[in-house]
Amino acid sequence: MAASSERSPPPFPDSEEPELLEDSDDGADAFTGTSISEMDSLSPDTTGPPKDLFNTPPEDIFSDPLSDINSEPQKNVKIQSPGSDEAVDLFSDPLDDEADVISSPEVQNPVPDLLKETVETPKSDVIGKAPIDISSKPVHKNAIGARHQDIFEDPPKDSSKGSAAKKAGSAELFGDDDDDDDDDDDEDEEEEMFKEPLKAMTKKPQPSVASGPPINVFTEVKSEVKVKQHVKDDPTDLFAEEAVKAPATKPSSSGGSRTNGVHSEEQDIFSEATVELSLDSPLNDRKKKDAVKASVSAPAAPVASSSSKPPSKTLEELEEEESEDKFDLNISITNPEKIGDGMNAYMAYKVSTQTSLTMFRSKTFTVRRRFSDFLGLYEKLSEKHSQNGFIIPPPPEKSILGMTKVKVGKEDPSSAEFVERRRAALERYLQRIVSHPSLLQDPDVREFLEKEELPRAVGTQALSGAGFLKMLNKATDAVSKMTIKMNEQDVWFDEKIQDVENEEQQLRKLHVMVESLVNHRKELSGNTAVFAKSVAMLGSSEDNTALSRALSQLAEVEDRIEQLHQDQAANDFFTFSELLADYIRLLGAVRGCFDQRMKAWQRWQDAENMLQKKRESEAKLLWANKPDKLQQAKDEISEWEAKVTQFEREFERISATVQKDVIRFDKEKARDFKRQIIKYLESLLHSEQQLIKYWEAFLPEAKAIA
Amino acid sequence: MEGSSAESALSVSANSIRITDLTQDGDVLMFAITSQKLNSSAGVCVFREHEDFEWLQQSLFSQENVPGLQGIIFPPLPPKALPLQSNMQTKALKQLGFLALGQDWQGYCKALEFYLQQVATHPTLCKCKALDSFLINSESPGKQRGRKGIFNRLSQAVEEMRKESHKDVDNFFQNERNKNTNITALSKIATEKLIDVVMTEQKLALACGHFSTSLHLCVNQDDAAAVAFSKVCLKLSDIIEAVKQNFEKVASNNLTTLGLGLDLESRYQEAEKEMLFRRTCKLIELETVKKSTEKAKANKREVMEEFQKAVEKEFNLISSVAKEEIERFHSSRVNVLKNFLIGWCEQQLNTARECAELYSQHLEACRNMYSE
């Protein structure tokens, strides 16, 4: 299970935590601070209302949790959504317990403890099951809306009746869910439910709770109380409308800024559920607190389960999914711009995305990124996904020479070419990332595409400087590769590994050839230019006027042809040379996947060996008749057996992932090459047609020579 | 260069002269020259090597009884070609220029053929007996090497610098000389540049060939995706092959039309230059004679005046022949260049059209490749 938590991407990357916390520094109130930073990521202008909300009404709530219920009716007048109140309540609860729950990293400590408690309580049964239902909801996507409504509509009645009833109501609610979705109960999931939360929770429980409700509250305030702030129309409208129509869909769109759609929906559901239970906490004592904690664990559960779900899907399912997936995401990189002067200068690129995918906030958005951001993205992705066996498209290499030229040089053509080359390479790199179904789901990718300001990628500057280190790493890898002798069982892999190696060599050869082709083209273009010049000279010193004119016309034609050659050289370069270079890099990534798989296999084999040893020692103990140590040996055996099965499963999983990804890669490659060839042919055809035009124009000139 | 009056002196039709074949025997290239008899439909075929051509050229230079011979622009004979050894490539290229390029000495044969036609159509030169025997006698003409005489380029080079800048008495010739020097240099440069272009095109064709061949190595039939990729590779290989052929055609077009034209132009300019130089030499000689006549004592004056008159007459003759020749040369060179240009343009146009057609076929095929 340790591995499963490792592989399940945390709903909120660790890297984000410090940022949030930093933001909350200036806010006296930990909650407003957090919520503001949440809001910031959505739209900076909307910070007003939540502040309001948290600062004015909740004052008394926080100060006296008991008075909360009393004040509820009044608040209901103001904000007619019970959900919002409850959200406030929820906040009040942690405040009571520990003011710095959110603002300090210690967050991780209390929660797991509480959770463990929860598991032991008799209530855990109900609570445990409830999350499962809700977590399984994403599978029935249709159900979400309706059920959501249920959750949403039930509580208000309850809440009006009183807090005592509320508890029952919430229990009922969960009970209902149970009945509805019995068929989705999976033992696996349940298992995960209880184990995963612990780990997932430790990472970031609070924002997930906090992110849903505040927005909720805030938008509802917007739509019903009509506190109209002069804020950006789009986001508010979107939220407001959706809030009115269907509360269920709104959080998903609002939460989208942080996590992908599926996650946020789940979180939302659970944050609602959390809200329900949290109402009790101020009134009731320990027992209810348990419930609250359980409910806190609930939101985390689906996150964990959902994140652990993709890998557990079968290969066919994934392939199906892939074929269904209509790829509608268009990324273009434009406007490379030099920022700064001297050696601190860097290039910034405009990354524009056009999409109809619902996981993004809008259909088109644009951000500015610098090269190291691209590298940072790769680092993040490979850290998270490479051990899963995904092929992570590598970014273009850092070029000190090229960049220095750009930094130092003025407008010289070679640096312009360098910039354009890099721009195109980055564009292809991003396109490859988003065309990977799993990488597209990664929060970092979406953040990269959407978020206005990205924390400066660190360590990437050293990336080029660390080329030496990288080489060392590669060397050690090679050594370990030699030492690990894997007797390949899988014929598919056996062949594929060989194929990939061959292919890489072939591509390298091809690349050299294309390179020489490009160079010859450039030479031709240069020679044609010189020839054009000398023809022009000849024409100018020619006595015969007709011949002179024809010659100068010819010089012009040659000039144009020179341009054609130049364009064609660029075409050759950008369509083939770069394509091949990309694929050489990609094949390197593919081999990396194979290596990861081999490492997994190695782990499995090591565990197997260890188990064998343990068994032998057990046999020895048996033989030596030492019952006192026997138990320990047995324990160890079962421990290692578990490990073996785990590693074996892991190996199988990684094998499946690698296989799937390599198949996908092969398909993509054929498609890519085909696309490029068509593009190339089009360019060839175009230049040939231009040539025809030029000659046709020149022919009468030649004939006109008297 | 189409003197119709000349044909009577020659027993074969000037326009029918062709070099049809070439055999290589060790270091010697043997050219098969065919021509058509004027009075009958019978064809004549003789075998000549480059030394025979040199003999012919010498014979033309050293004709006797031709007034104003020195005023004639002799059609330029391409320099001797050495059968290609790989290490000779660059040397041959330097010496022969365009004529060394192309397969199987095609360009060289064309140039020789053109030379013979030019000689045969020249109003004065076609009367030379040596030409007739060169074209008709199956025996190789006299093996004796003619002395290089005054037309030797080597001896000329020494005097050239001194005499070339000599001021002319006649403005027409002075202008012509200036222009000639200019154009000679320019056309030479243009030719060299075109050679570079053609060479690069040939290199490109070669590189395309390599590329296309190595694409074949990427074929792999393991699974569906690999087959698809292999198909793409093979298609690309075909396309690159097409590109290669296109380059080859373009290069050979350049070679056989504009290249030859420019080469001929530059060599003819060179020939005109030589003729002008010969005239300048005569002019200088005349001036020296004039001076010495003035200085001569009375008893010798009469002889000197006699001599001066003879030289002056010769010089005037040369000048008048030269004037005619220059006019003839100018009109014919424009014509020749025009024909080369038109031919070139048409060929390139055809090639481009064919190529575009081929590309669009490939494109169509590509688009349908695995939509099936």
How does pLDDT run across B141-161, given as a tens digit for each residue? Answer: 655 554 444 444 444 555 565
Reply yes or no on whether the pLDDT at A199 is more than 80. Answer: no
Where, residue-wise, is CATH 3.30.1520.10 in chain B? 1-153
**What's the DSSP call for residue B8?**
G
Cβ B18 vs Cβ B120: under 8 Å: no
**Which pLDDT does position A278 carry in this prediction?**
39
Q: Higher-confidence residue: A383 or B358? A: B358
Closest residue, chain B, to A554 (C-alpha): B341
Q: Higher-confidence residue: A380 or A459? A: A380
Task: Write out the two tokens for B313.
Answer: 């007459």
Question: Average pLDDT of A247-262?
Answer: 39
User: What is the tens place of the pLDDT at every residue in A300-329?
Assistant: 334 333 333 333 344 444 444 444 445 677
Give the best residue of B248, B345, B364, B369 to mutate against chain A (max A CB count within 10 A): B345
User: What is the tens place of the pLDDT at every residue in A285-304?
Assistant: 444 444 444 444 444 334 33
Question: Average pLDDT of A346-367?
Answer: 81
**Which pLDDT does position A108 carry in this prediction?**
42
What is the rounded distance in angstroms from the CA atom of residue A632 to the CA atom of residue A625? 14
Q: Which amino acid is at A134?
A: I
Reply yes or no on whether the pLDDT at B358 is more than 70. Answer: yes
Cβ A336 vs Cβ A423: under 8 Å: yes
Nearest CA of chain A to the CA of B103: how many Å? 21
Helix residue spans in A435-577 (DSSP H): 437-440, 443-450, 461-465, 467-483, 491-540, 545-571
Q: Which CATH number fits domain B1-153: 3.40.30.160, 3.30.1520.10, 1.10.3720.10, 3.20.20.70?
A: 3.30.1520.10
User: What's the start-to-end Cα distance of chain B, in Å?
Assistant: 63
**Which pLDDT does position B82 carry in this prediction?**
66
Cβ A90 vs Cβ A275: under 8 Å: yes
**Which pLDDT does position A484 carry in this prediction?**
58
Considering only the beta carbons, identify the residue of A506, A530, A698 that sits closest to B217: A506
Where, residue-wise, is CATH 1.20.1270.60 in chain B? 155-372
List Cβ neighbours of A528 (8 Å cut-off, separation of 6 or more): A558, A561, A562, A565, B197
Question: Average pLDDT of B49-55?
Answer: 82
Reply yes or no on whether the pLDDT at A115 is more than 50. Answer: no
pLDDT band, very low/low/confident/very high, at A526 (cuts 50, 70, 90): very high
Reply yes or no on whether the pLDDT at A675 is more than 70. Answer: yes
Contact A677 B356 (CB under 8 A): no
Most confident of A171-180, A409-418, B119-128, B330-339: B330-339
Give the best residue of A322, A520, A560, A576 to mutate against chain B (max B CB count within 10 A): A520
Nearest CA of chain B to the CA of A356: how many Å? 25
Nearest CA of chain B to the CA of A380: how many Å? 30
Contact A674 B369 (CB under 8 A): yes
pLDDT band, very low/low/confident/very high, at B97 (cuts 50, 70, 90): low
Contact A702 B235 (CB under 8 A): no
Question: Average pLDDT of A453-481?
Answer: 55
What is the rounded distance in angstroms from the CA atom of residue B316 to the CA atom of residue B170? 11
Reply yes or no on whether the pLDDT at A6 is more than 60. Answer: no
What is the rounded distance in angstroms from the CA atom of residue A501 to the CA atom of residue A504? 5
Considering only the beta carbons, identify the residue of A527, A535, A699 that sits closest to B349: A699
Nearest CA of chain A to the CA of B330: how many Å? 9
Closest residue, chain B, to A511 (C-alpha): B211
Nearest CA of chain A to the CA of B169: how many Å? 22
A547 CB neighbours in chain B (<8 A) are: 334, 337-338
A572 CB neighbours in chain B (<8 A) are: none
A696 CB neighbours in chain B (<8 A) are: 349
Q: Which helix (H) or strand (E) holds A354?
A: strand A346-355
- CA distances to A290, A408, B11, B31, B75 from B48, rounded to whole Å, are 114, 65, 18, 5, 18
Contact A527 B200 (CB under 8 A): yes
Question: Taking the model in full, what pTM does it have?
Answer: 0.62
Do the strands A346-355 and B18-25 form a parallel or antiparallel pair, or are they unpaired? unpaired
Reply yes or no on whether the pLDDT at A181 is more than 80. Answer: no
A666 CB neighbours in chain B (<8 A) are: 223, 225-226, 229
Cβ B29 vs Cβ B47: under 8 Å: no
**Other C-beta atoms within 10 Å of A485: how many?**
8
**What's the DSSP call for residue A575?**
I
Cβ B35 vs Cβ B11: under 8 Å: no
What is the rounded distance in angstroms from the CA atom of residue A83 to the CA atom of residue A266? 16
Contact A503 B182 (CB under 8 A): no
Closest residue, chain A, to B192 (C-alpha): A531
Q: Higher-confidence residue: A183 or A692? A: A692
Handedness of CA A356, A361, A362, A368 (dihedral sign): negative
Contact B183 A541 (CB under 8 A): yes
Cβ B141 vs Cβ B130: under 8 Å: yes
Which CATH number describes the domain made up of B155-372?
1.20.1270.60
List Cβ neighbours of B171 (8 Å cut-off, separation of 6 or more): none
Task: Write out the two tokens for A491.
Answer: 């014929």
Considering only the beta carbons, identify the residue of A510, A527, A685 that sits closest to B193: A527
Contact B363 A682 (CB under 8 A): yes
**Other C-beta atoms within 10 Å of A382: how many?**
15
**Which pLDDT does position A310 carry in this prediction?**
39
pLDDT band, very low/low/confident/very high, at A373 (cuts 50, 70, 90): confident
Q: Higher-confidence residue: B86 or B224? A: B224
Reply yes or no on whether the pLDDT at B327 is more than 50. Answer: yes
Give the best residue of A556, A660, A681, A685 to mutate against chain B (max B CB count within 10 A): A681
Contact B226 A499 (CB under 8 A): yes
Which range (A651-665, B100-114, B118-132) has the least confidence?
B100-114
Q: Higher-confidence residue: A208 or A685? A: A685
User: What is the tens place of the pLDDT at every residue in A216-234?
Assistant: 434 343 444 343 444 344 4
Q: Higher-confidence residue: A343 or A63? A: A343
Question: Average pLDDT of A520-530?
Answer: 91
Q: What's the complex ipTM?
A: 0.84
A513 CB neighbours in chain B (<8 A) are: 207, 210-211, 214
Reply yes or no on whether the pLDDT at B49 is more than 70. Answer: yes
Q: What's the mean per-residue pLDDT of chain A?
A: 63
Contact B211 A674 (CB under 8 A): no
Q: Coil, strand or helix: which one is B321?
A: helix
**Which pLDDT does position A528 carry in this prediction?**
92
Give the best residue of B197, B217, B245 to mutate against chain A (max A CB count within 10 A): B197
Closest residue, chain A, to B219 (C-alpha): A503
**What's the DSSP call for residue A435?**
T
Considering only the beta carbons, identify the residue of A520, A542, A547 that sits closest to B203: A520
**Which pLDDT does position A492 carry in this prediction?**
79
**Which pLDDT does position A264 carry in this prediction?**
40
Give the best residue of A558, A674, A694 to mutate against chain B (max B CB count within 10 A): A674
Contact B338 A530 (CB under 8 A): no
Nearest CA of chain B to the CA of A524: how many Å? 6
Reply yes or no on whether the pLDDT at A617 is more than 60. Answer: yes
Sequence-distant contacts of A12-21: CB under 8 A, at least 24 apart:
A12/A203, A12/A204, A12/A207, A12/A208, A12/A258, A12/A259, A12/A443, A13/A380, A13/A443, A13/A444, A14/A203, A15/A380, A15/A455, A16/A204, A17/A105, A17/A204, A19/A455, A20/A207, A21/A103, A21/A104, A21/A105
Considering only the beta carbons, identify the residue of A531, A685, A703 that sits closest to B197: A531
Contact A514 B211 (CB under 8 A): yes
> CB contacts < 8 Å between A and B, how many?
157
Cα–Cα nearest to B29, from B109, B95, B102: B109
Contact B366 A677 (CB under 8 A): yes
Which range (A617-621, B24-28, B206-210) has the least confidence?
B24-28
Question: Average pLDDT of B192-210?
Answer: 89
Return the percentage of chain B with pLDDT > 90, whole number.
6
Handedness of CA A377, A381, A386, A389 (dihedral sign): negative
Question: Average pLDDT of A459-470?
Answer: 48
Task: Write out the two tokens for A513.
Answer: 């050839």
